[in-house]
Amino acid sequence: MRLMISGGGTGGHIYPALALIQRLQERHLLDEVLYVGTANGLEAKIVTAAGIPFETIEIQGFRRKLTLENFQTIAKFRRSLHRAKALIKEFQPDIVVGTGGYVCAPVVYMASRMHIPTVIHEQNSIAGLSNKFLGHYVDRIAYVFPEAAHQFSEKKKLVLTGNPRAQAVAKLQPQGLLAGLGLRTDLQTLLIVGGSRGAAPLNKAVIAAIPEFSEKSYQVLFVTGQALFDQVNDQVGPLTEKTNIKIVPYLDRMSEILPEISVLCGRSGATTLAEITALGIPSILVPSPYVTHDHQNHNASYLVDKQAALLLPEIELNGRSLVATADHILLDSEEWQQMHQAALRMATPDAADQLITVMQELIRAKR
Binding annotation for UDP-N-acetyl-alpha-D-glucosamine: 10-12, 124, 196, 296
Sheet holding 219-223, edge to edge: 245-248, 219-223, 189-193, 263-266, 283-285, 309-311
- Annotated binding-site positions: 10-12, 124, 196, 296
User: Which residues is 158 bridged to in the sheet?
Assistant: 141
Coil/strand/helix, residue 88: helix
Please, what is the end-to-end C-alpha distance for the chain in angstroms? Answer: 12
Cβ proximity of 201 and 275 under 8 Å = no
**DSSP per residue, 343-356:** HHHH--TTHHHHHH
| DSSP secondary structure letters along 213-236 | HTTSSSEEEEE--GGGHHHHHHHH
- Burial profile 249-277: b = 16 or more Cβ within 10 angstroms, e = fewer: bbbeebbebbbbbbbbbbbbbbbbbbbbb
CB 32 within 8 A of CB 3: yes
For 242, residues 6+ apart whose C-beta sits below 8 A from its C-beta are 210, 213, 214
CA separation for the pair 298, 12 (Å, rounded)? 15
Task: Name 333's Cβ contacts closer than 8 Å, sequence gap at least 6.
Answer: none
Bridge partners (DSSP) listed for residue 159: 142
Name the H helices within 125-243. 129-134, 146-149, 164-170, 177-180, 200-213, 229-236
Which residues does residue 96 pair with via DSSP β-bridges, in sequence order?
4, 118
Phi/psi for 209 (5° steps) reads -90, -15
**Contact between 305 and 195 (Cβ < 8 Å):** no
